[in-house]
Amino acid sequence: MRRSVLDNWIQQKEEIAELNRASIEEMQLKKINALFARVKEKSAYYSYLPGGMDSLADMQAVALLSERQLTANHRQMLLLSQSRVEKVITMYSSATTGQAKRLFFSEEDIEKTVDFFACGLREIATEGDRCLVWMPANAEHSVGALIARALERINVAVFSCSLDETFDALACLVEEKKINCAVAMPFKMLSLMRYADKIGKSLPLKSVLISADSAPPFLKKELDERFSLHVIEHYGLSESGLGGAVECGDKSGMHIRENDLLIEITDEKGNWVRDGQEGEIVLTTLCHEAMPLIRYRTGDKGKISAQACACGSTLKKLQNVRREAVSNEMSPLDAVLFTRDGVLDYRVARQEKRVTIDIVLTDKADREVIEKELEYVILQKGWGVNIEIHWHTEKWRRHAPYYTAKRKIMTE
Ligand SMILES: [Zn+2]
């Protein structure tokens, strides 16, 4: 098995003679001490940080940063003048009662992300390949645009596709342009493969990098076993600068870009849990120029593998990641609906006590059973008491994905 593509990249970039736990952690400690010195010098906000640390374990004594604190203090956390900010990500979340959380990135921060993408994408693409980029790509520094830049850097032809195209248009594009790899959101990829299968098209896709949403085992299994796709999962979030960790050929977890990110798995108090034990993913961006985050609580759950990876990499490997912060609410519904082959897509909306679910089917499904299971989930979660299910069996050939951004329960 080939070693994780991150190994060589980190070794060369950081000029480390041999990559092992001792050399990786020595590099991280050096970067953390430099980071603390830099942020303390530039902003009074960081006066709570210690002057320096003797070991990485000392991080446990540093206060955690909550989403609420980030929202309230993002201006003081910006270390550069506004004129040097290239990209701003504005996010709204339920936890912040409508207040916007802003993340700032410099040109150099963006370049780091593109460089990481160009490395990670080698797990699915190589020179001469033809790659579908099916991610939000409507702005200059959107994730889709950065992925496209990274692919061009490794001489892979890019076919960007908007998220509101129909599955039919996509299947035709992939077939006509002989596209053999893709970067996509997991459930959209599943829907596309099911659609193509249903109309009897055999797509030339061989490998896919999935990101930006939960990817439960049943989904990866179907993409892998039924559609023979080499599936590589990526974990990243806006707060990590979009890139974060990527699977290797062993497909048993995602190796972390440990030269740019310190990921800690912690209990509620911010203490480390043992490797192999689940906890909250807490991240520190070691090198961000504009707005580094120190011990940011992502709200996501996961664990670090306690076993050495079969690929030979000594980079830490994230496993069982659950995107609690973004898509937990969809998971139980996914488990009812997307585990059924005949389901192409669905959306869910909620208005006071009424929950409406639209389901697009390619064939008849066991509707009574599905209805019962959906009712059970909705009542148990307390989302509503009035449940309305709309079955759409006619329009699947003209269907475009319901969600063009993050999948969630719509409330307006
Ligand atoms: Zn590995």
At 5, list the tokens. 């593509």
- Tell me: the pLDDT tens digits for 169-211? 999 999 999 999 999 999 999 999 999 999 999 999 999 999 9
pLDDT given at position 365 = 85
- Average pLDDT, whole number, for the chain? 93
Is the pLDDT assigned to residue 92 strictly greater than 80?
no
Q: What is the pLDDT of residue 343?
A: 97
**From 189-193, 208-212, 364-368, 403-407, the region with the lowest mean pLDDT:** 403-407
Give the DSSP letter of residue 225: I
Distance from the alpha carbon of residue 129 to the mean position of ligand 1, in angstroms: 23
Contact 65, 295 (CB under 8 A): yes
Distance 314 CA to ligand 1 centre (A): 8
Share of residues in the chain with pLDDT > 90 (%): 83
* pLDDT value, residue 326: 57
Instruction: Establish whether domains 124-235 and 329-398 are of one fold.
Output: no
| Range with lowest mean pLDDT among 104-113, 321-330, 353-362 | 321-330
Structure-model confidence comparison of residues 93 and 34, the more confident one: 34
Q: Please tell me the distance between residue 213's alpha carbon and the centre of ligand 1 in angstroms.
A: 21
- Ligand 1 centre to CA of 222 (Å) is 22
Q: Does domain 124-235 have CATH number 3.40.50.150?
A: no
Phi and psi at residue 360, in whole multiples of 5°? Answer: -100, 120
Q: What backbone phi and psi angles, to 5 degrees, belong to 339? A: -75, -10
Say how far apart CA 326 and CA 184 lie, in whole Å: 17
Provide the percentage of residues in the chain whose pLDDT is more than 70. 97
The listed CATH number (3.30.300, 3.40.50, 1.10.10, 3.30.450) that belongs to domain 329-398: 3.30.300
Q: Where are the chain's structural domains?
A: 5-111+244-322, 124-235, 329-398
Give residue 277's pLDDT: 98
Report the separation in Å between the CA atom of 253 and the middle of ligand 1, taken as the mean of its atom positions.
7
User: pLDDT per residue over 133-162, tens digit each?
Assistant: 999 877 778 899 999 999 999 999 999 999
Token couple for 106: 């410099």
Q: What is the rounded CA–CA span in Å between residue 324 and residue 341?
A: 25
Specify the CATH number of the domain 5-111+244-322: 3.40.50.12780
CA of 230 to the centre of ligand 1 (A): 15
Query: Does the pLDDT of residue 96 top 50, yes or no?
Result: no
Instruction: Say if CB 206 and CB 180 are below 8 A apart.
Output: yes
| Ligand 1 centroid to residue 316 C-alpha, Å | 9
Please tell me the predicted confidence (pLDDT) of residue 329. Answer: 84
| The pLDDT of residue 149 | 96
pLDDT value of position 160:
95
CA 308 / ligand 1 centre spacing (Å): 8
**How far does residue 295's CA lie from ligand 1's centre (Å)?**
25
Ligand 1 centroid – CA 58 distance (Å)? 27
Q: pLDDT value at position 93?
A: 58
Distance 1 CA to ligand 1 centre (A): 9
Separation of CA 194 and ligand 1 centre (Å): 29
- For the stretch 12-39, pLDDT in tens is 999 999 999 999 999 999 999 999 999 9
pLDDT at 309 over 70: yes
Q: How far apart are CA 395 and CA 201, in angstroms?
A: 18
* Residue position matching structure tokens 């929202």: 71
- Å from CA of 311 to ligand 1 middle: 4
* pLDDT one-digit tens code per residue, 51-86: 889 999 999 999 999 999 999 999 999 999 989 998
Q: What is the pLDDT of residues 36-48, one digit of tens each?
A: 999 999 999 999 9
> What's the pLDDT at 327?
54
Residue 376 has pLDDT above 80, yes or no: yes
